[in-house]
Amino acid sequence: MAEKVVLGLSGGVDSAVAAARLRDMGYDVHGLFLEVGLGGEEAAQHTADDLGIPLYIAHRREAFEQQICAYFADSFRNARTPNPCVVCNPLIKFRALTDYADEIGAPYIATGHYARTGRDAEGRALLRRARAEKDQSYMLYRLPRGTVARCVFPLGEAENKAEVRENAREIGLAVSEKPDSMDVCFIPDGDTQGWLERHGAACPPGNFVDENGKVLGQHKGIHCYTVGQRKGLGVAAEGRLFVHELRPETNEVVLSLEDVYRREITVRDMHLIAPEYAENGPFACEVRVRFSRRSDRATVYPDGTGARIVFEDAVRAPAAGQSAVLYDGDIVIGGGFIE
């Protein structure tokens, strides 16, 4: 008898191709659509019908609003740059998948994420980078190891998104040309400032100041800026200005003619998928301070629930609230939120 797998089916091309690949691998595929008040059920059902798999609707709207939307708004109020996917994956998405998998007796769960899993020499589960440039392991670093052990990522070995779209065309899926979703699913128009204003999370205008406190002009609200930003400032100067610091306590945005680089950062709320790396104290690894392919060599000094990270070379504009994710080659060690 084929083993059951519960797949997160969004109605997009990635999850649709993931479903088809799982079916071809011999799994008994059960789709799950995560209903959080954003629509999309019809597209997911259409894909499920095309592939001949059942679809379950998991209603998580209240939890999503309380745990993800509220976190997003609070981050901006406190001059932090949030990444809602990092928080949503362990708290909402993968929890819904595992809950339903347990209910129907499915040993595995799956998504259309570009990531891979593996095992070390002791048989412990590992989360690994994808082959494709569109690697999404950064977004998954807070998953519990037990969850990673149940994950199947059918797109992990794909060369790129073009390969996945071509696969969708070959299968004859209607979603083959569907545009990629936005970075923040609950802001489909990409207007973060407008969303914050509608949800009462916008900050009042205040002063742009230089590093000595001299007022340079007025900003639109600290929620409109992030460290390292250099566009849309509207302040005349002798050279290009950069957002150097956000000060929520005084409602000031500090500007500087110097770009922002840091040799050392601290992180809080560390989560280690592979805690064995930290068993003997400080360890060397590669660190990504934002969702990109770039990683930088550093030494991590664990400290309780946080850590101090010292880079070999200074990194540009690590923003408070974003995640610093630790890698050993293609293995995800874990990470934490930048202070």
Choosing from 88, 151, 203, 224, which is the catalytic residue? 88
What pLDDT score does 140 carry? 98
**Percentage of the chain surpassing pLDDT 90?**
88
Report the mean per-residue pLDDT for the chain.
Answer: 95
Structure tokens at 251: 């409602």
Cα angle 178, 191, 324; round to 5: 85
The model's confidence at residue 177, banded by pLDDT at 50, 70 and 90, is confident
Pairwise CA distance, residues 119 & 114, whole Å: 18
pLDDT at 275: 96
Q: Could you give the angle at the alpha carbon of 157 between the alpha carbons of 152 and 159, nearest 5°?
A: 145
Task: Return the amino acid letter for 278.
Answer: A
What one-character DSSP code corresponds to residue 66? I
Q: What is the C-alpha to C-alpha distance for residues 332 and 324, in angstroms, rounded to an integer?
A: 11
Q: Which CATH architecture has domain 203-256?
A: Roll (2.30)
pLDDT of residue 100: 98
Question: How does residue 1 score in pLDDT terms, banded at 50, 70 and 90?
Answer: confident
Q: How crowded is residue 120: how many other Cβ atoms within 10 Å of its Cβ? A: 11
pLDDT by residue (tens digit) across 262-312? Answer: 999 999 999 999 999 999 999 999 999 998 889 999 999 999 999 999 999
pLDDT reported for residue 207: 97
Fold of 4-177: Rossmann fold (3.40.50)
| Pair 8, 58: CB distance under 8 Å | no
Q: Is the pLDDT of residue 180 over 80?
A: no
* Backbone angles phi and psi of 213, in degrees to 5: 95, 0
Contact 327, 333 (CB under 8 A): yes
Query: Would you state the pLDDT for residue 259?
Result: 94
Question: Is the pLDDT score of 327 beyond 90?
Answer: yes
CATH architecture assigned to 261-338: Beta Barrel (2.40)
- pLDDT (mean) for 323-331: 97
111: nearest Cα among 95, 124, 94: 94
**Segments in the chain forming alpha helices (H):** 13-24, 41-51, 61-64, 70-77, 84-88, 94-104, 145-148, 161-171, 192-198
Q: Residue 95: CA atoms inside 13 Å, Cβ hemisphere, count?
A: 11
Q: In this predicted structure, what is the pLDDT of residue 176?
A: 75
Residue 54: closest CA among 29, 21, 81: 29
Give percent above pLDDT 70 in the chain: 100
Asked if residue 25 has pLDDT above 80, the reply is: yes
Q: Flag whether pLDDT at 230 surpasses 80.
A: yes
**Whole-number Cα distances in Å, 74 to 66, 77, 338:** 11, 5, 15
Residues 6+ apart with CB under 8 A from 58: 32, 33, 34, 35, 96, 99, 100
Which pLDDT score is estimated for 182? 64
Report the distance separating Cα 90 and Cα 53, nearest Å. Answer: 25
Extended strands (E) in 233-280: 242-247, 252-256, 261-272
The answer to whether the CB of 143 falls within 8 A of the CB of 127 is: yes
**Could you report the per-residue pLDDT of 31-82, keeping only the tens digit for each?**
999 999 999 999 999 999 999 999 999 999 999 999 999 999 999 999 999 9
Q: Where are the domains of the chain?
A: 4-177, 203-256, 261-338
Residue in the block written with tokens 């590992």 = 126
185 is catalytic: yes
pLDDT of the residue at 181: 73
* Burial (0-12, 13-18, 19+ Cβ within 10 Å), 27: buried
Q: Please count the other Cβ atoms lying within 10 Å of the Cβ belonging to residue 260.
A: 20
Tell me what the mean pLDDT of segment 248-269 comes to: 96
Encode pLDDT of 101-148 as tens digits: 999 999 999 999 999 999 999 999 999 999 998 899 999 999 999 999
> Rounded to an integer, what is the distance from CA 277 to the centroid of its chain?
22
